[in-house]
A = this chain, B = another copy of it.
Amino acid sequence: MPRSHNSAVPTPTTPSFAPLYLQIKTLLERSLEAREWQPGEAIPSEMELARRYAVSQGTVRKAIDALAADNLVVRRQGKGTFVATHTEERTSVFRFLRIRPNEGAALAPRRRLLDVRRGKPTADVARLLALKPGEAVLTLRRVLDFAATPVVLDEITVPAALFRGLTKARYDAYRGSMYAFFESEFGVRMLKAREKIHAVAADTVTAELLGTAVGAPLLAVDRLTLTYGDRPVEVRRGLCVTRDHHYLNELG
């Protein structure tokens, strides 16, 4: 059986002096990225993976624990370990959406797509998305209504190359969240995000769409979303009316 500094594991990205369980984790991450198992499917059992990699079950367990902590897989006792998916996260529509009503329970908002445009990115966006010069992007605008009141105006920018065939009609026909749409229709999985928040004054277009006064204070939430390998795949600006809602953050 391989020990900590073994070489029974082929071509690790993780340095060869990393603990075995992290090497196994890296291998599993690669299999996930390569879609060896589809979102929602079960990955092989711990015993089977232990045989495959010629390590003990305990070592595989630590690797899978780390994947579960990163939200890449979901463990279900008695059933197996499943590839995480945006399409069945009914309860956690709010994993990436931090806007909540000031009073009352958080109900899923209604999503209204306004338009889809193809164009050239701004310099900022091109840099954030690490685009090649001249590479085109798609820009989607949409509004989120909480209890029939418009609260958020999102402008979402993604590389056009990754989302060939994305049209307003196709999105409107899809039932589910934006990230579920991206995942199941285009094979792009959003894993992590970084948000930077500013307070801004509403311009005329935004004020019109959100039903506020021009100049009213809004939250501007700038999100950069990452997929496997920390590759950036989405830039998004959300403008939020925070009269009856707020942005929630838990600090550990």
Q: Is the beta-carbon distance between B219 and A201 smaller than 8 angstroms?
A: no
Interface size on A, residues (CB 8 A): 32
Q: How far is the CA of A199 from the CA of B198 in the complex (A)?
A: 8
CB distance from A56 to the nearest CB of B (A): 14
* Beta-carbon contact of B252 and A249 below 8 Å: no
**With A and B bound together, what is the CA distance between A219 and B246 in angstroms?**
11
Per-residue CB contact flags for chain A residues 85-110 toward chain B (1 = under 8 Å, else 0) read 00000000001101010100000000
Report the separation of the CA atoms of residues A249 and B248 in the bound assembly, to the nearest whole angstrom.
10
**A251-B192 Cα distance, complex, nearest whole Å:** 6
* Interfacial chain B residues near A218, Cβ < 8 Å: 199, 217
Q: Is the CB–CB distance between A249 and B98 below 8 Å?
A: yes
Judge whether A249 and B246 touch: CB under 8 Å: no
**How close is A186's CB to chain B, nearest CB, in angstroms?**
21
Q: Across the two chains, which residue of chain B brings its CB closest to A240? A: B199
Contact with B along A218-236 (1 / 0, CB 8 A): 1100110000000000000
Chain A interface (Cβ < 8 Å from any Cβ of B): 70-71, 95-96, 98, 100, 102, 192-201, 215, 217-219, 222-223, 240, 242, 246-252
